[in-house]
Amino acid sequence: MSLTLLNVIIAVVIAIAFAALNAAYLVWAERRGAARIQRRPGPNINGPFGLLQPPLDGIKLMAKQLIIPGGVDKILFIAAPVLAMFPAIMSFVTIPFSDTIVAKNMDVGILMIFAFASMGGMSLLFAGWSSRNKYAMMSSIRAVSQAVAYEIPMLITTITVVMIAGSMNLMEIVHQQSSSILHWNIFPLLGNSHNLLMPFSFLIFFVCTLAETNRAPFDLGEAESELVAGFHTEYGSMGFGLFFMGEYANIVIGSCMTTILFLGGWGCPFGLFPGVWWFLLKLYILIATIIWIRWTFPRTTIYGLLNLSWKILIPLSLFNLLFTAGLIKVF
């Protein structure tokens, strides 16, 4: 008993470290990547390739005074950044990186991750509401309507995958896809569903991930040219730092989910190296794509975003759900 408890604690610590490290170094990767796209070198002064930039930024943020503006709702104001980071870290507990590397395998892993993902929207609402700033307020209302609109197609798509796998256990879902590369859920023919529309499901899920994590082109909450800095306008110091890291941790979670649900998790197409490396490879390719998208596209409008969700993504994902259900019944 005590041994398993120790195992869990170590795993949780590793998960937190992984999340924090990823959040910190994804900022670096994003800045370097954006710079390359714009034909600049990016941060390259501190350490080799600027690799010391994230820790130094962290030190700088921590050394700053935490300013709480007058008239804010203090409890919510302080709770919001914590709420932004906490669910992302907690979600790592149940994500399987390979057959063996998983902190706690749960039968309802997907449910837990989505429950925590919904809490992310809560943190934006808290931050915007408590900041006593009109820009922050507008941003948080946008963020909530966005979160509501995009959780629906995301959940419907997830249910499609759950129906195919017949389980909400993330391990189980990966095992279902592990026979070969063609059994991945993204590919239409050999998978358990024989559903031709699965690539579109993948696309819908990916777009929803972008929207759920408030990433460009759906970064309406932040919208720096309209709402100054959106919900974190009034945050400085590590409060801002936590929001920032939370954003990247959420990206990692979103990409992990995409990898597990559609890209076969740690399933290796060629078996060159152990599964966990394949998992990380897929994960970082997805993250790189997200960064790449951010630095290519302009931002959508709030109604464009809601139109996309309610008029395109939800009907398509619902149709796909029905279609998959029918196919499962037939085969």
Q: What is the binding site for other proteins (CB under 8 A)?
A: 33-41, 134-135, 138, 141-142, 216-217, 219, 223-226, 228, 292-293, 295-304, 312
Choose among 81, 86, 59, 58: nearest CA to 68: 81
Q: Give the integer Cα–Cα distance in Å for 123 and 135.
A: 16
Query: How is residue 281 written in tokens?
Result: 């490879």
**To the nearest whole angstrom, how small is the minimum distance from the Cβ of residue 122 to other proteins?**
21
- The Cα–Cα gap between 129 and 221 comes to 13
Minimum distance from residue 218 beta carbon to other proteins (Å): 10
C-alpha span between 300 and 218 (Å, rounded):
6
Nearest to 280 by CA among 256, 262, 249, 264: 256
Quote the CA–CA distance of 112 and 89 in Å, as a whole number: 12
Smallest distance from the beta carbon of 51 to other proteins, in angstroms?
A: 17
Least distance from other proteins to the Cβ atom of residue 31, Å: 12
Identity of the residue, 100 or 301, whose beta carbon is nearer to other proteins in the bound complex? 301
Q: Which is nearer to other proteins, 71 or 271 (CB)?
A: 71
Q: Smaller CB distance to other proteins: residue 121 or 230?
A: 230
Place of tokens 């790189």: 288
Pick the closer one to other proteins by CB: 188 or 274: 188
Smaller CB separation from other proteins, 83 or 290: 290
For 266, the token pair is: 């740690």
As to burial, measured by CB atoms within 10 angstroms (0-12 exposed, 13-18 middle, 19+ buried), residue 4 is: exposed
Enter the tokens of residue 276: 């966990």
Least separation in angstroms between CB 224 and other proteins: 6
Nearest distance from residue 167's CB to other proteins, in Å?
Answer: 32
Does residue 218 contact residue 305 with C-beta atoms inside 8 Å? yes
DSSP of 217-253, one letter per residue? Answer: TS-TTT-TTTSTTGGGTT--HHHHHHHHHHHHHHHHH
Residues 171, 98: contact at Cβ < 8 Å?
no
Integer CA distances (angstroms), 317 to 115, 200, 229, 245, in order = 20, 9, 32, 31
Complex with other proteins: residue 14 or 141, whichever CB lies closer: 141
Q: Provide, rounded to whole angstroms, the least separation between the CB of residue 297 and other proteins.
A: 5
56 or 293, CB closer to other proteins? 293
Min separation Cβ 52 and other proteins, Å: 17
Identity of the residue, 282 or 294, whose beta carbon is nearer to other proteins in the bound complex: 294
